Amino acid sequence: MARLGQGSALALVFLVLFCSATVVFSQCNTQGVDRTLEDGADGDDVVKATADKIRDSGIFGDDHDFLRRMAKVESDNGRDVGLGGIWRVDSGTFKDMDEFILSQQETPTLQSQFEEHFCFSWSANVTPRKYSAMDVPLYSALTVMVYLSSIGQSIPQDTEDQADFWTKHLNRNGVEQEFISISKSLRDADRECRIKGVDMVFVMDESGSVRASNFEKMKQLAIDITDSFEIKPDRTRVAWISFATSARVVFNLTAYSTKDTLHDAIRGIIYGSGNTAIGRGLETLRTEGFVGGRNSFDTPEVAIVVTDGQTNAGINTSTAAGNLREERNVNVFAVGVGTGVNTAELAIIASAGIENTQDHTQHIDGFINNQLNTLQQLIRARTCFDAMFSNHDQSFERLNAAKVKISQGVTVHVAVECPWEDSLSMHVDAQEILFSTSHGRVIPTALTMKLSLP
């Protein structure tokens, strides 16, 4: 990687842990090791966990899978041994960033943020090791992101633009076509959802500002996303809600049981017109969107809301989002298109499903084909990834114990406080896992534990 400059960044993290024959805990818990903080750790899971930590913080903004792609092209996710760790940070870059972090005066400092949210001390754990600290995946990736923040560069969405960005700012000797080719291979791998199924509802803006031509592009976006899923009654099922001045269910979850009939139905949806009543779209999602849904633990509910504007009619969006959050456990993605979007309202829409909305909001410039292609790839991958979660993190925030049925690829959200002030006990067998806290209290902050049982 080319020599980098100085900068500032903050970090907040979802800790990703892996459970197979043994359970691996975070560094906050002295019983084990978080592999993103493990010296010399490599591999696809380590890279993804590291990138997810940084992206989910919401501090650096969405990296649009750039860290994963860069790790693959620079070092084959750390399998190609070399200096600078997985992300190939050079010694000059590390020196500059280390000096900056240690000298930072404004509060909160990077050191305090890292210690609070990542459970490590930069001055105690990184600085004394000097350049060898870059062998730790999280340290290497954070150095890259701090640098990009320091030069005021936002990571582009489009793959070709990312390839150009990489060669200009990070690796002047890099080959753009290699970056593009590797990005495609990662996308192809992400296309395959390894889950049983999803109940998925599209909530689509058909107000007058969208226009018929752009509504056609929104329909194609939905077709592209659902193309990755197995459309069957016992697998993934899809419903559609359109909203303008009012909201309407175009078809429900039980309407179509094959991919061909679903896609034909989407193509046949007629564009309406009117004002933009996002709140009514969310209310209809709550009351009618999951009619016929399975309401089962191992079938996550996902909603994808797309709008080109902000509410100018109907009920309050925040009220509707709150009602949805209280009544159902839906994973909500909010997509804004164009300059008329209220980004704060996008966060409110996404908050109907999760507490951390950064990873579930997307804002693109317009109905431009290459941006829509990139968007559908991101949503498709994250919809598939999030569907692998138990999707019951809201319940865990209210309970101090939970019993979870386990199947291959299922992931469970658990809450934990950092630094660790309470122990988490668990019992694992072939069918289920029992989580409980040592003092029977509710733990406030989200932690992700990935379960991969044979």
More confident residue, 244 or 388: 244
Give the mean pLDDT of 45-67: 82
CB neighbours (10 Å) of residue 53? Answer: 26
Per-residue pLDDT tens digits for 112-127: 888 877 778 999 999 9
Per-residue pLDDT tens digits for 213-271: 889 988 988 898 888 788 999 888 999 999 999 999 999 999 999 999 999 999 999 99
Residue 446 DSSP SS3: strand
For residue 109, give Cα distances in angstroms to 8, 92, 115, 319: 9, 22, 10, 36
Euclidean distance between CA atoms 97 and 81, whole angstroms: 23
Average pLDDT over the chain, rounded to an integer: 74
Per-residue pLDDT tens digits for 292-329: 888 765 577 889 999 887 888 878 899 999 899 888 87
Euclidean distance between CA atoms 33 and 17, whole angstroms: 9
With a cut of 90, say whether residue 46 has pLDDT above it. no
Phi then psi for 37, rounded to 5 degrees? -110, 15
Euclidean distance between CA atoms 45 and 141, whole angstroms: 14
**Taking the domains of the chain in order of start, what are their residue ranges?**
16-188, 195-387, 393-451
pLDDT of res. 135: 95
Give the mean pLDDT of 136-141: 95
DSSP 43: S
Across 293-302, 400-409, 444-453, the highest mean pLDDT is recorded for: 293-302
Pick the CATH number of 195-387 from 3.40.50.410, 1.10.3720.10, 3.30.413.10, 3.40.50.1970: 3.40.50.410
The pLDDT > 70 percentage for the chain reads 68
pTM of the full structure: 0.55
pLDDT of res. 258: 95
More confident residue, 409 or 252: 252
- Sequence-separated (6 or more) residues with CB below 8 Å from residue 270: none
pLDDT band, residue 132 (cuts 50/70/90): very high
